[in-house]
């Protein structure tokens, strides 16, 4: 028996070596951790249970029958816990055939995807790979298809998170693209459908991997990625932090963690957050940080469309999604990028029963040919659609401007918000007073314009016209915002909404 046990341990040790010491050292030399080191950092200590560590490829083409058979076949899979909660994980091993996906490699991922869905637990994929196993051809493509199908089947049922920690090319990009969140590691990761060599051949563009699909590109330009981190360690610790905010699946509701921050904490500094001058910006993140428990806010897409802020916080230890216009960037205007960013976030929250708190200070939609040609109507409609189809609790606080169509869109009473508050500084109107008067009194002399502007301001530049109609439930004191939101969310916990049957909606894509 001892021999058998020794043999098992030797086989295990061999499998743990992946592509061997030389390749692991090369990995370290590039500032990257190995597939197993990453899993150890992601999961609670000693909680990882590995599956399929002895699986090998079955390819016999292009010399693969003579190539060394490396157990594990380029991906480490299994499950463990993050702060005690079950999480499934697969981690591509770049030291084994460049982490490329073979038929058997795909089967390992598929097994984990199926288990995660059956167990209704989150799944995290760590990517560092060269796409389809080139020697296998269509068997690898088939494997990808099976993985993709499962990504879609699990979408909106269990959280799916992808972390890009090295190359991610060809077939490897589309699985992350169908998950909920993609994070990248700065300087060592890149994602593209076709690499610089193919780009050069087809379009004659000369571009580096970093310029084509580095973390900066995907967090600021393409919005493919939701965030980037300095190195592997930071990325994995932040994914642990994110998982703490997320429900295990779409039916269990948000997790509840102990909080030391009392719900009725007031913050007097909020009474002076909004400047006297309506055109002066202020930082909406200050309100967010002063509202959520312990100032703990996990921002999603921080580097993209900064005119809207999205992310997770907690109130009374329970997760909320925060959506907020940011007056510091483009005066908080809604443009195509901001609308798409917020729409996706709102839909995520709704799918996973995460209540949404919306802070509004929006001067309207951004005018101009660039926006209109770029489909502002369609993209703005995404956000309007997303809020309108929500069944989760929606609490809205208008801090200053809520103008025009953007007033409707930003979780107004009319599209289904449950509790709508406004600060005394709120201005709810079709548009700003000056613009409005210049249209109504076109050609009027300066004195008329000034007088009418004052009258328009007095009439509409306040929360009270909306409050008189019940569009605003109450005008609240800024310093009590956290308490009011906490009370509203506590009341809304039993919210239940019936919708007529339909196969699915037809959100403008
Ligand atoms: C088999 C691969 C491989 C692959 C890398 N390797 N990619 N083996 N299939 N796709 C192997 C290499 O042979 C090498 O083996 C080891 O992995 C490390 O690769 P290097 O090239 O030495 O590393 P590096 O210089 O860092 O370059 C990494 C890379 C490059 C940029 C990922 O390897 C590369 O361009 N690979 C091919 C990418 C690609 O075109 N994939 C197919 C995409 S098509 P040794 O033994 O030397 O360590 C696709 C279609 C699916 O995915 C579409 C579905 C929708």
**Minimum CA distance residue for ligand 1 atom 45:** 97
Q: Work out the average pLDDT over 9-19.
A: 90
Of the two residues 138 and 269, the one the predictor is more confident about is: 269
The alpha carbon of 209 and the centre of ligand 1 are apart by a number of angstroms equal to 14
Out of 75-84, 110-119, 138-147, 384-393, pick the least confident: 138-147
Residue 127 sits in the same domain as residue 84: yes
Instruction: Give pTM, 2 decimals.
Output: 0.96
pLDDT tens readout for residues 16-43? 998 899 999 999 999 999 999 999 999 9
Catalytically annotated residue among 74, 131, 171, 313: 171
Give the E-state strand segments of 70-150 in sequence order.
75-82, 85-92, 123-129
End-to-end CA distance of the chain: give it in Å, rounded. Answer: 62
Count of C-beta atoms within a 10 Å radius of residue 494: 7
> Percent of the chain beyond pLDDT 70?
100
Burial-class residue 260 by CB neighbours within 10 Å (0-12, 13-18, 19+): exposed
Are 276 and 382 in a shared domain? yes
> Domain for residue 263, yes or no?
no
- Is the pLDDT confidence value at 223 over 90? yes
Q: Which amino acid residue places its CA nearest to atom 43 of ligand 1?
A: 170
Instruction: Based on the fold, state whether residues 220 and 286 are members of the same structural domain.
Output: no
Which CATH number do you get for residue 306?
3.90.226.10
In this prediction, residue 426 has a pLDDT band, given cuts at 50, 70 and 90, of very high
Asked if residue 138 and residue 73 are part of one domain, the reply reads yes
Is residue 56 pLDDT above 90, yes or no? no
Please tell me which residue in 166, 170, 364, 380 is annotated as part of the active site.
170
The pLDDT of residue 68 is 74
Residue 150 domain boundaries: 2-245
Predicted pLDDT of residue 135: 85
Same domain, 97 and 202: yes
277-318 per-position pLDDT tens digit: 989 999 999 999 999 999 999 999 999 999 999 999 999 999
Single out the residue of 479, 357, 468 nearest to residue 420, CA to CA. Answer: 357
- 135 and 236 co-located in one domain: yes
- 317 catalytic, yes or no? no
Residue nearest to atom 23 of ligand 1 (CA): 98
What band does 434 get if pLDDT is binned at 50, 70 and 90?
confident
pLDDT > 90 in the chain, percent: 84
How confident is the prediction for the chain on average, in pLDDT? 95
Instruction: Give the integer Cα–Cα distance in Å for 386 and 388.
Output: 5
In this structure, is residue 456 part of a structural domain? Answer: no
What is the structure's pLDDT at 443? 86
Q: Which pLDDT value is given to residue 392? A: 98
Which residue's CA is the closest to the ligand 1 atom numbered 53? 171
Residue 67 pLDDT exceeds 80? no
Mean pLDDT of 457-464: 87
- Residue 151: pLDDT band (50, 70, 90) is very high
**What pLDDT does 457 receive?**
86
DSSP assignment of 283-309, as one string? -HHHHHHHHSGGG--EEESTTS-TTEE
Q: Is 97 in the pocket of ligand 1 (CB under 6 A)?
A: yes
Identify whether 445 is part of a domain. no
pLDDT tens, 108-122?
999 999 999 999 999
100 lines ligand 1 (CB under 6 A): yes
Q: Which of 396, 419, 423, 411 is nearest to 273 (CA)?
A: 423
Mark whether 470 and 334 lie in a shared domain: yes
ipTM for this model: 0.96
Question: 134 CA to middle of ligand 1, Å?
Answer: 8
* 71-97 pLDDT per residue, tens: 889 999 999 999 999 999 999 999 999
Domain count, the chain: 2
166 lines ligand 1 (CB under 6 A): no
């Amino acid at each position: 028996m001892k021999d058998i046990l020794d043999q098992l341990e030797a086989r295990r040790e061999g499998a743990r070596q992946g592509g061997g010491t030389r390749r692991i050292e090369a990995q370290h030399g590039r500032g990257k951790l190995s597939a197993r080191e990453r899993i150890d950092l992601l999961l609670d200590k000693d909680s990882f249970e590995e599956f399929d560590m002895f699986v090998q490829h079955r390819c016999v083409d292009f010399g693969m029958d003579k190539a060394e058979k490396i157990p594990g076949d380029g991906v480490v899979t299994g499950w463990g816990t993050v702060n005690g909660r079950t999480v499934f994980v697969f981690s591509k091993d770049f030291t084994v055939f460049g982490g490329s996906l073979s038929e058997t490699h795909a089967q390992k991922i598929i097994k984990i995807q199926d288990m995660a869905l059956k167990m209704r637990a989150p799944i995290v994929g760590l990517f560092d790979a060269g796409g389809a196993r080139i020697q296998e051809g269509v068997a690898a493509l088939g494997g990808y298809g099976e993985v993709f199908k499962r990504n879609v089947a699990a979408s909106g049922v269990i959280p799916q998170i992808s972390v890009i920690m090295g190359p991610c090319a060809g077939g490897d990009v589309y699985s992350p693209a169908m998950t909920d969140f993609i994070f990248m590691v700065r300087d060592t990761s890149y994602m593209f459908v076709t690499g610089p060599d193919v780009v050069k051949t087809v379009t004659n563009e000369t571009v580096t991997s970093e310029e084509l699909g580095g973390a900066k590109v995907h967090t600021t330009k393409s919005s493919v990625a939701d965030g980037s981190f300095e190195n592997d360690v930071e990325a994995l610790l932040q994914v642990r932090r994110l998982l703490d905010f997320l429900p295990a699946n779409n039916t269990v509701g948000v997790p509840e963690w102990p909080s030391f921050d009392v719900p009725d904490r007031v913050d007097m500094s909020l009474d002076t957050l909004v400047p006297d001058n309506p055109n002066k910006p202020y930082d909406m993140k200050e309100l967010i940080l002063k509202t959520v428990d312990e100032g703990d806010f996990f921002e999603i897409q921080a580097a993209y469309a900064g005119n809207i802020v999205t992310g997770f916080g907690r109130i009374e230890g329970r997760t909320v999604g925060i959506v907020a216009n940011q007056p510091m960037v483009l005066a908080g205007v809604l443009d195509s990028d901001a609308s798409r960013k917020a729409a996706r976030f709102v839909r995520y929250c709704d799918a996973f029963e995460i209540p949404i708190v919306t802070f509004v200070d929006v001067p309207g939609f951004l005018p101009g040919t660039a926006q209109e040609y770029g489909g502002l109507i369609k993209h703005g409609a995404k956000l309007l659609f997303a809020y309108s189809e929500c069944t989760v609790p929606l609490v809205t606080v208008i801090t200053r401007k809520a103008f025009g169509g953007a007033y409707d869109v930003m979780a107004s009473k009319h599209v289904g918000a449950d509790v709508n508050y406004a600060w005394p500084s709120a201005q709810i109107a079709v548009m700003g007073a000056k613009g409005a008067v210049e249209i109504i009194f076109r050609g009027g002399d300066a004195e008329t314009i000034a007088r009418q502007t004052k009258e328009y301001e007095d009439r509409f530049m306040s929360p009270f016209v909306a409050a008189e109609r019940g569009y605003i439930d109450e005008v609240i004191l800024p310093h009590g915002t956290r308490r009011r939101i906490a009370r509203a969310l506590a009341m809304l916990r039993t919210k239940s909404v019936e919708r007529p049957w339909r196969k699915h909606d037809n959100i403008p894509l």
